[in-house]
Structure formats: structure tokens, C-alpha cells
Amino acid sequence: MPTIKEFNTLGEYLENSMLLKTSPIAVKMLRNEADIPEGAIRPKKDRGYHLAQCQAFSMSRRNGLTVAMLKEDNWCWGTLFAYGLIPLNTADRFMELQKDIKNIPVLEYRKYIGIVSAPLKTANFVPDMVLIYSKTAQIRTMLYALSFKGEGLINSTIYPVASCAFSVVPALSGQYYITLPDPGECGRALAGDDEIIFSVPVEKVEGLVAELKTIDSRKMGFKDNSFLEMRSDFPRPDFYKRLYRECGLDADDKPTWPES
């Protein structure tokens, strides 16, 4: 497991290599108040207001803040149920929650007292996961890098409610996950219409960065993306030609224009 400083370095690389608009965030579940890192803001206790969890994530990734969210800090129902801060059967008394509560992932009641987030590049704690808010082209590059080690196929449930649940809970069990920011996160936490969330379990962060460094060194990373004009009979790698020859198809052995 990387040290805190090593995680900070990984965060710097992710942000710079992928040209991310906001910082990847370190996220850790809190079992007790002793787990709250030094310098963390506790919204209700320290500032006298409440936040939705997506707003706390936004403050971390945009403003560089470490934010600890306990039950009393929350201003949205999603995290109260998803993180096990209130009993799940409480939802039985609210018809408005009946459909959604059946679809969101939830943690064991009282296993945790809350959650803390901070920019990965400055976090003073070892996270449970890293959340990367990115454009689709950026997440494609990350999955492409992971495909070289057989991890590029990601199975996620896409649901337009409680992105705070889907981005966090599955990653605790070691799953990569892809989540759509929900309407509340877009409306109240400034998530962009072009953003999507990639959740990376803590044990996989170092491997992701290693694969990104590999494709960066081969000029295949996000910074090296280039777009050719729409053109027929474009140049292809050699194995394409060998495959086509084996299948009796045109191999295009002689490109009609010079490769750059």
C-alpha cells in the first residue's frame, strides 16, 4: 500500500496526465471521530450549516478542502441510507422513497459514522477509494490503459439518483465503478453536464497510474489524442493487416499517404 505522500504523488500525476478540470478526490469512511483527519471541516460544527454529500465532494475537488460529513451534517437523504447512518427501514414510512431505496447500494447500519474527502494530491490520510470526475474521453483513456492488464471491462449499474451512493459503496468492495452525477449533484454541487464519475478502489490506484504512465510513454495517452479527418483506407497497425490477409481481405499494405 502506498504511503500518504505516495498517494499525493499519484494524485498529481492523475490530474496532470489526464488534464482533469478538478482534482481526483481521496475518500475514506469514518468508523469513529478519531478517524477524522486533522484540519478537516465539519460543516455543522465548524460553520453552522448543512451540505449534501455531493457538495462536500465538490468543495474537495474544486476548492481543495478536506470535508468530514457525519450524520448531522447531511442535508440530503441519499447518504443517510447509503452509508448506513440511519436504519434502512426508516424508508418504509415514506412513499416518496419506495422506488429509489430499492435500487441504491447501502452499507451496514452503524458500521460507519460518516465520510471524509480531500484532494488526493494533498490528502493527509490513506483513502478507501479515489473518485475521478472526468469527461468521457478521459475515462475512455483510463479504461484503455487498464485494458492492457485485463481490467478495462467495467460493470456498473446506471441509475439517475443518489450518485453519492453509487460512486462510493461498490468501490468499498474493490470494484471499479462508473456513476452518472444525479440531478441534485448537477444542480447543487456544480457537476458539469459533460462529467462522469470514475471510482477507483484504493488497492487499484497505483496500478491505474502505472498503466497510464506506460501508455503516456508510448504517446498513446490523453495528452497525445489526435483526430484524423474522416478518411477511408486509413493506416493500421501490422496485426490488422495480418488478420485481414488470413481472412482473404484487402490488407492495405501500401498506405496512400505518409504516416506522421
pLDDT at residue 253 greater than cutoff 80: no
pLDDT at residue 258 greater than cutoff 70: no
**CA 156 vs CA 74, 93, 125, 163: distances in Å:** 26, 29, 27, 12
All three cell numbers of 258, joined, read 505518409
Q: What is the mean pLDDT of the chain?
A: 94
pLDDT at residue 112 greater than cutoff 90: yes
Task: Read off the pLDDT of residues 187-241 as tens digits, 9 standing for 90 and up.
Answer: 999 999 999 999 999 999 999 999 999 999 999 999 988 666 777 788 888 999 9
Rounded CA-CA distance 74/52 in Å is: 5
Q: Which of 68, 77, 189, 210 shows the shortest CA–CA distance to 133? A: 189
Rounded CA-CA distance 4/127 in Å is: 9
Average pLDDT value for residue range 106-133: 98
Rounded CA-CA distance 99/102 in Å is: 6
Rounded CA-CA distance 118/158 in Å is: 25
What pLDDT does residue 235 have?
82
Residue whose cell numbers read 487498464:
146
Comparing 156-160, 167-171, 211-215, 252-256, which segment has the lowest mean pLDDT?
252-256
Q: Please return the burial class of 42, using the count of CB atoms within 10 Å of its CB with bins 0-12, 13-18 and 19+.
A: middle
Task: Read off the pLDDT of residues 52-98 as tens digits, 9 standing for 90 and up.
Answer: 999 999 999 999 999 999 999 999 999 999 999 999 999 999 999 99
Task: Read off the pLDDT of residues 2-52 as tens digits, 9 standing for 90 and up.
Answer: 999 999 999 999 999 999 999 999 999 999 999 999 999 999 999 999 999
What pLDDT does residue 254 have?
65
